[in-house]
Structure 1
Amino acid sequence: MTGGGTIRYDGHVTKAALIVNAQSRSGARACSHAEDLLLALDVPLHAVHPLRDASRLVEVVEGAVEDGHDLVVLGGGDGTVSSVVDVLAHREVPMGLLPLGTANDFARTMHIPADLDGACRTIARGHVVDVDLGRCGGNFYVNRASAGLGAAVAQHMSPVLKRRVGPLAYPVATARALRRHRPFAATLEFPDGDHATMELTDLLQISVANGRYFGGGQLAAADAGIDDAMLDVSVLHNGSPLRLLSMARELRTGSTTDSSLVTHVRTGSVVVNTDEELPINVDGELVANTPQRFSVARNALHVVAPPTWTDGG
């Protein structure tokens, strides 16, 4: 399937699998309701997997593809999506998404409705589009990878915190991470030769965004897209609490104007070296460490999107 091709359940998709991360914020109560909705909408479900053990997601998605399912309907949040895109990348099986997580930034990028009924209608009546994936070494991701504060935030997030405060878990975890943050130094190298090497000190965070949104609705850039073959790199410099608060407000608008606290770069590939090895947060999960190369996997993932989604999102 290629971008823009309409899903039709009269032959193109004949065997769908519903796989739900029942540990996600609303997954436990959503699986059976989604099954009923999808069947009522004539989606040909042949397998339903409500998973209480999130570590089995990759195994079950891989099994669904190997068993000949030509549509995988995935229920979960951004971490759930990111954990299985390595299985679906560069394969002809599209992914339908039920956004059941805390932030659901990938669903926001793809204009997929937040309510379960709307998401199921999108799967039944939408069209398939091709989107880029980011690559952090050998790991694919949909939204953003980050080192520094972003990785510390991931360490302070927990299922209990997400259940208790929902989207407010991000600012709560960020406040906790800031109290323990130690500034670091980094070198950014650009293998494509589109920018000069950058030597940076006293840093708070380096993030490399593939998608349009991350962190509960924060814009990577006002004109960021998930199919533009580019990464949006944001370097956050350390500063006083008051200046950091001002910077956070500015970043939520997607501003790419450089300042004393923020440096923006758009590129197809970047190598991040830090003065000491740092963990990297990839869509909410710590899966790699610096030094690391980030790049774009062009049109690597097929996703069922609503008619409102066009090139660039």
Structure 2
Amino acid sequence: MQLAQKAAKEKYALVIGYGGDGTLNALLNGTMYAQGKGAVADIPGGTFNVWAKAIEMPDDPVKAALTLVDSEPRSLDLGHIEATSLTSANNSKDVWQPAPNGKKSKKSKESTKTRHYFLLNVGIGLDAAIMAHISKPLKYRVGPLAFDLAAAKEFPRQRPFPVELQQTDDKGNVTAHWRGDVWEAYVSKVPLFAGAVNIEPGSRADDGLLYVTLITANSPLKTIGQAVSLLTQHKPDRNVTTYFRGTHFSLRIPASIDIHVDGSAVKPEELLSKAEQRALQQTNDPEQMLVDYHFDARPKALHVAVPRTYAGPLFEKTSQKGNTSPQEQLLLAEQQPANAPQQSHPQSEEQPPILQKAAYNIEVIGSIAPQGKQPTTIVAGKFKKQDTDEVQVLAVRVNKRTQVLNKAGEHVPSARLLALQEGQTILAEGKKTKRGVIKATRVRLAD
């Protein structure tokens, strides 16, 4: 989070996080605290990355980086969470005064070390308890299976808890009120949770709304039915689920209930004022203390890099720029003028050009031709040093000044590079920068 704040203050145009949903959340929080105007981007890593999967980013980090080369910034909404008060269950009123909509409460100072903003959802209850008690060493060793093991351990300990909800409009008028017992409460910005569960199919990342899902506590039979629905159909059973949607919500829940923000556990003390933190620490029964959480939708709060080819249902508004598939990229590139520089002086087969500068034998991982004023092709691949057998990942930059040759030494369009398959090899000649980019003057296809 601190690194993201520093990058935003230094006005970087693009800041990339490599990790899971928690890493991306820290990145966007740091950017928001620094009031950064650049875009944030995501390379999937960690145990799981729901957002990267949702926008169809490749799992392989090199292929994901290639995809980011041809991405575009999209304006996304964020959710914001704030703890506005702490009260005793014995002294709480039937109706409480929510925080001013869209603004921080006057008595609380927002800490720039706490996760107040979310891109995916805030979970309250069972799944947050699992997140809070999951074994990190086990998570890094067995991945998502650690979540299932923690769920099997935590589920018998969990009990329904009381929730009181108020929904307000932009003027602070109460438009909905609900009270009851739930197993789980979600405040979501996008429909997916845990990569598969579709919490609210109608939600979009740019619709300016928050979606509240309350999985209500009913009979044991209905509770089992809800679990089956989540596991088999990847969505809540609507018969035992209550839904709300809007821009401002307040939820009052016991201080003992766990919460998570985009998959990262957050304790109530992290969101409360220092005086309320001390009061909570001094109480003997956290279940009798109630925390008022206030949620706001922050429309168009952040620019996030999204693959140009993405055309899924995550956004309400379509991309302003045309999406092109890799096949369309190849077709467009092949339509270059016949007098392109690399084709203007063909060499004879009897005298193939000799590679005289430093040459790198590259095993191809992937290639892409990002849209832009200057036609450029990027080929990413592996290079093994002969003296040490060390394998590096390098990027080969091909522009209009680069000669592209086939195996026989004949000039061919640079569009041929887009047809390369993973595992094929090329010989790239040119200067390699410290960042592993070969500014190619000549590229020769091996096949």
TM-score after normalising by structure 1: 0.73
1:189 aligns with 2:166: yes
The one-character-per-residue Cα deviations of 1:30-81 (angstroms, maximum 9, x if unpaired) are xxxxxxxxxxxxxxxxxxxxxxxxxxxx222222223342211110110111
CA distance in 1, matches of 2:305, 2:197: 23
Residue 144 of structure 1 contacts residue 211 of structure 1 at CA under 8 Å; is this kept in 2? yes
Partner in structure 2 of residue 117 of structure 1: 62
CA distance in 1, matches of 2:77, 2:250: 19
Query: Closer, same or farther in 2 for the Cα pair 1:245/1:211, shift >3 Å?
Result: same
Q: Looking at both structures, which has the greater relative contact order when contacts are Cα pairs under 8 Å and sequence separation is at least 6?
A: 1
How many residue pairs are counted as aligned between the two chains?
254
1:293 aligns with 2:294: yes
Q: CA deviation at 1:150?
A: 2.4
Matches of residues 1-313 of structure 1 in structure 2 within 5 Å? Answer: 58-89=1-32, 91-137=36-82, 139-192=116-169, 195-201=175-181, 203-239=182-218, 243-251=222-230, 253=233, 255=235, 258-259=238-239, 261-289=240-268, 290-310=291-311, 312-313=314-315
Q: Which amino acid aligns with 1:65?
A: A
Q: Which amino acid aligns with 1:158?
A: S
Residue 144 of structure 1 contacts residue 282 of structure 1 at CA under 8 Å; is this kept in 2? yes
Q: Which amino acid aligns with 1:157?
A: I
SS at match of 1:247: helix
The one-character-per-residue Cα deviations of 1:250-272 (angstroms, maximum 9, x if unpaired) are 3465657631x321222222100
CA distance in 1, matches of 2:133, 2:220: 19
Partner in structure 1 of residue 91 of structure 2: none
User: Percent same amino acid at aligned positions?
Assistant: 27
Residue 204 of structure 1 contacts residue 238 of structure 1 at CA under 8 Å; is this kept in 2? yes
CA distance in 2, matches of 1:240, 1:102: 34
Residue 109 of structure 1 contacts residue 211 of structure 1 at CA under 8 Å; is this kept in 2? no
CA distance in 1, matches of 2:234, 2:37: 33
CA distance in 1, matches of 2:16, 2:52: 13
SS at match of 1:296: strand
CA distance in 2, matches of 1:276, 1:76: 30
Q: Which runs of 5+ in 2 are unaligned?
A: 83-109, 111-115, 269-290, 316-447
Q: CA deviation at 1:124?
A: 0.6
SS at match of 1:236: strand
Query: Closer, same or farther in 2 for the Cα pair 1:149/1:270, shift >3 Å?
Result: same
Q: Which amino acid aligns with 1:85?
A: L
The one-character-per-residue Cα deviations of 1:159-205 (angstroms, maximum 9, x if unpaired) are 2221232122222222222111122111000012584200112x211
Q: Which amino acid aligns with 2:121?
A: R
CA distance in 2, matches of 1:238, 1:99: 35
Query: Closer, same or farther in 2 for the Cα pair 1:92/1:306, shift >3 Å?
Result: same
Bigger helix share = 1
Residue 71 of structure 2 contacts residue 307 of structure 2 at CA under 8 Å; is this kept in 1? yes
Query: Closer, same or farther in 2 for the Cα pair 1:120/1:275, shift >3 Å?
Result: closer
Q: Which amino acid aligns with 1:79?
A: G
CA distance in 2, matches of 1:83, 1:95: 11
Q: Which amino acid aligns with 1:287?
A: V
Structure with higher Rg: it is: 2
The one-character-per-residue Cα deviations of 1:232-259 (angstroms, maximum 9, x if unpaired) are 2111123566644432343465657631
Residue 206 of structure 1 contacts residue 233 of structure 1 at CA under 8 Å; is this kept in 2? yes
The one-character-per-residue Cα deviations of 1:84-134 (angstroms, maximum 9, x if unpaired) are 212223531111211102221111232222221331112111111111111
Partner in structure 1 of residue 282 of structure 2: none
